[in-house]
Amino acid sequence: MDDYSVGDAAGLLGVSTDTVRRWIDNGSLDANRTVNGRRRIEGLALARFAQSLHESSDPLVASTESARNHFTGIVTRVLKDKVMAQVELQAGPFRVVALISREAVDDMGLAPGVMASAVVKSTNVSIEL
């Protein structure tokens, strides 16, 4: 069975390592210590905890949009031509690239350093290891 370090769990959950440590310390998230004293979180326990975070969130507060996958991050690169633009966004550990119209980029003022959200709605999602 897979297990994860505190840092890996934080990256997967989109929170800081301190937040994961607090969840472990207050008993919200189970972890075991290695012989070296490092905390490790079993994959199944982490998956259940992630699901509980989702289930306990208020969908009306979280979003009023129909698309469920929002990646908020910082714009790292914008490449524009005459009609289209490529926008790169770093959202935590995820790099999201979108091709949108140049007009939309200009209207929104998208440039490196600007905080933005990528909203993904797809009928086909692939998962790879």
Q: Residues 6 or more apart from 34 whose CB is under 8 A from it?
A: 40
* Each residue's pLDDT expressed in tens, for the chain with a length of 129 residues: 588 999 988 888 888 899 999 999 999 999 999 999 999 999 888 888 887 876 665 544 444 555 567 788 888 999 999 999 999 988 877 788 999 999 999 999 999 988 888 888 777 766 676
Beta strands in the chain (DSSP E): 3-5, 32-33, 39-42, 69-80, 84-91, 94-101, 115-120
| Fold type of domain 69-120 | OB fold (Dihydrolipoamide Acetyltransferase, E2P) (2.40.50)
Report residue 123 as tokens.
Answer: 């009928």
CATH of span 3-56:
1.10.1660.10
Name the residue ranges covered by the structural domains of the chain.
Answer: 3-56, 69-120
Q: Residues 6 or more apart from 92 whose CB is under 8 A from it?
A: 11, 14, 71, 73
pTM of the model: 0.53
- Reference 76, options 48, 107, 35, 118; nearest CA is 118
